[in-house]
Chain A
Amino acid sequence: MKEILMMKGAMKLVSICGGVKSGENVSIITDMVTLNVAKTLAKAAMDKEAGEVTIFIMEPRKAHGIEPPKPIAAAMKNSDVIFIPTLKSIAHTEATQKAKESGVRVVTIAEVTDDMLISGGIEANFEEQAVITKKIASMLTVAKKAELFTKKGTKLSLNLEGRTGRAITGLATQPGGYASPPNIEASIAPIEEDTNGVIVIDGSISGIGLVSSPVKIIFEKGRAVKIEGGPEADKLKSTLASTGDPNVYFAAEFGLGLNPFCTPKGLLLEDEGTFGSAHIALGSNIDFGGKLRTPLHIDNIMCNVSVKLDKTLVFEEGKLKI
């Protein structure tokens, strides 16, 4: 009976986030673990009188960022809108990129659970929140320098000069549009060699989960040179080392969570979107204006941040100041 509770969230994802209109062809890409969410989205799409509603099921990918199987990649290019409720994210794959280039609107929901359609970030007013998200994204574009602080000891400076901020609003209503609800964030790829200072992660680390004790990362000339903390720090270190790629240590992304209904739960999209949080990602940033292509992209989330863009205080201890 949980499906009934999920239906409201599914309707919002379909009609608001995906902007599905009557007669549009909708595909839902899912895996064998998240089929229940896919079925609920399919019902919502049928309720919106979508044209064809086709569900594709694959084996769950082993990690975030692994390409979907070829039949599914081919199918993704041949719809008006695709929803991707999966265990592991296929957001940053060639298949998704090609679908967007074909004008398909893409809504990805990685690490999705039944509960994510019932409460949490899904309760946000995405359209209303898009206004502030776009504003902060343009502030990131204009700013030359960003400074990030937390009471737990984060003190980081980043160079943003010449880089473009992006607004991930949770809405994919234009052809080629991309959303990953319930996440709402404004983010940017900083100049790779110029991030310095320390971050103290008190939220979560994507792929690892909530941190049981804070994880400290020291950055010098853009790279993480020291990682300290409890079991999550060890796991992060071994994950990074396992790639054998020195570029995974670069600070690749500076993001600000802007969904007032998200809280850190150890679920990627809820955590990143948490209002007043920031994330510094390690790894790839090539698909949003950076130079790094690596086998992974790990978001490190800290809560209640203070942020200064050039001289403007944007957040103070998690509260918006603009």
Chain B
Amino acid sequence: MKEMLAVQGSRTIVENCASIKKGEKVFIVTDYETFSSALLIAKAAYAIGADVDMGIMKSRGLDGEEPTECMAAAMKKADVVLTPVSKSLAHTRATDEALEEGARVLSLTAISEELIASPAFEADFKKQAPVCEKVAQLFTEANELTITTPAGTNLKVGLKGRKGNAHKCLVNRPGQFSAAPNIEANFSPVEGTAEGIFVADASIPYLGIGKLSSPVTFTIEKGKIIKTEGGVEAEKIKRIWAEQNDPNVYNIAQVAIGLNPEVREAIGVLGCNYDEGAFGTVHIGIGTSQGLGGKVRATTHFDALMNKPTIVLDGEKEILRDGDLLI
């Protein structure tokens, strides 16, 4: 009966986040593990008079893995695509192509009744949008950015010419992408510019990891991870990378600040879109950067989160101090 608790959240997804209107063609991509949550969202969309079709596949093995070919073909023919799935389709060719065709795409990775019922969906997404846009604008204008954290992060990246993205958890225009209930501002660093160390000490809400038992330390040279150290989580990441046999999986693809005011902590159990939105956390995306303004396509994309980060733009403008937003 826990689906009862997710009824309101489902309506928020359909009406507020995806702005679905009566008569719109909605295509819901789901998998055999997340079908019950997808059904709740389908019901909410059907209730307001949308044309709802669903596609169900086996859940993908890895985040960022392409959906089935027939699913990708279907995704291109809808006004709105919702993806309540186990493993992220956000950074796939299928999603990029659906966006190019003008679909609005709302990514709902690691969906569950618990996530839909969580306070994250109680955020006032419209009210938070200007904050998100402001941070994205600062990214667009900046040339260089440094991140430091108490756990030992000291990472410098170049972002000259890169556009900041405001993922406001709102998609209301053709070709717009967001992930729910995540609110974040992000950019893709210029390839080859990232240098330094970052220490993930909050969570890695992908690859079946979640909350970290010990921090994972990544050493970066010329935009790529050259060393990964830590406990069992670090070993797991290294093993998965080795299996991919793809040099692009080490790419520093994304820097993002979480901006959902209803999420105060990355907890590692409600999936990436809960943790990544945790207000005042920073995450680094690793792997594919196409779709964020970067040029790299890899077999996977995942994110690693840091607590209490400080971010300085162009060596002088502090926008985040120990996790507090200064704008």
Interface of A toward B, CB cutoff 8 Å: 25, 27, 52-59, 69-79
Contact = CB atoms under 8 A, between A and B. Distances in A.
B69 A56 contact: no
Nearest to A70: B77
Contact of B55 (A25, A70, A75): A75
A27 B73 CA distance: 12
A79 B70 CA distance: 6
Closest 4 CB pairs of A and B: A71-B74, A75-B70, A78-B70, A70-B77
Nearest to B76: A74
Contact of A56 (B25, B58, B74, B76): B74
A70 B78 CA distance: 8
A76 B69 CA distance: 10
Contact of A71 (B25, B57, B58): B25
Interface core residue of B58, B68, B75, B76 (most chain A CB under 10 Å)? B68
Given A25-B68, A52-B68, A75 B73 contact: yes
Contacts of A74: 70, 73-74, 76-77
B53 interface: yes
B55 A52 contact: no
Contacts of B27: 71
A55 B69 contact: no
A76 B53 contact: no
17 contacts: A25-B69, A25-B70, A52-B57, A53-B57, A54-B68, A54-B70, A54-B71, A57-B53, A59-B51, A71-B25, A71-B55, A71-B78, A72-B53, A72-B74, A74-B76, A79-B69, A79-B70
Contacts of A57: 53-56
B68 A71 contact: no
Chain B contact residues: helix, strand, loop or mixed: mixed
B7 interface: no
Contact of B70 (A59, A69, A76): A76
Interface string B131-150: 00000000000000000000
Contacts of B68: 25, 52, 54, 78
Interface of B: 25, 27, 51-58, 68-78
B75 A71 contact: yes
Contacts, number: 75
Nearest to B31: A54
Contacts of A25: 68-70
B61 to A, nearest CB: 12
Contact of A55 (B52, B55, B76): B55
B84 to A, nearest CB: 14
A70 to B, nearest CB: 4
Given A56-B54, A74-B70, 6 more contacts: A27-B70, A54-B68, A69-B77, A70-B78, A71-B74, A71-B76
A40 to B, nearest CB: 14
A48 B263 CA distance: 45
A102 to B, nearest CB: 11
A57 B52 CA distance: 9
B78 A53 contact: no
Contacts of B57: 52-55
Contacts of B70: 25, 27, 52, 54, 56, 74-79
Contacts of A69: 25, 51, 53, 77
A53 B71 CA distance: 11
Given A27-B70, A71-B53, A52 B58 contact: yes
A71 B58 CA distance: 19
A75 B56 contact: no
A52 B58 CA distance: 7
Contacts of B71: 54, 75
Nearest to B67: A54
A27 B71 CA distance: 9
Nearest to A77: B73
Nearest to A104: B70
A24 to B, nearest CB: 12
Contacts of A27: 70
B259 to A, nearest CB: 32
Interface core residue of B25, B53, B54, B75 (most chain A CB under 10 Å)? B53
Nearest to A73: B77
A184 to B, nearest CB: 28
B52 A59 contact: yes
Nearest to B57: A54
A69 B73 CA distance: 13
Contacts of B25: 69-71
A54 B307 CA distance: 40
B235 to A, nearest CB: 31
A79 B69 CA distance: 8
Contacts of B72: 78
A137 to B, nearest CB: 32
Contacts of B77: 69-71, 73-74
Given A72-B74, A75-B74, A77-B73, A53 B58 contact: yes
A55 B52 CA distance: 14
B288 to A, nearest CB: 21
Nearest to B26: A71
A54 B27 CA distance: 14
B32 to A, nearest CB: 8
Nearest to B73: A74
Interface core residue of B58, B70, B74 (most chain A CB under 10 Å)? B70
Contacts of B52: 59
A146 to B, nearest CB: 41
Contacts of B78: 70-71
B24 to A, nearest CB: 12
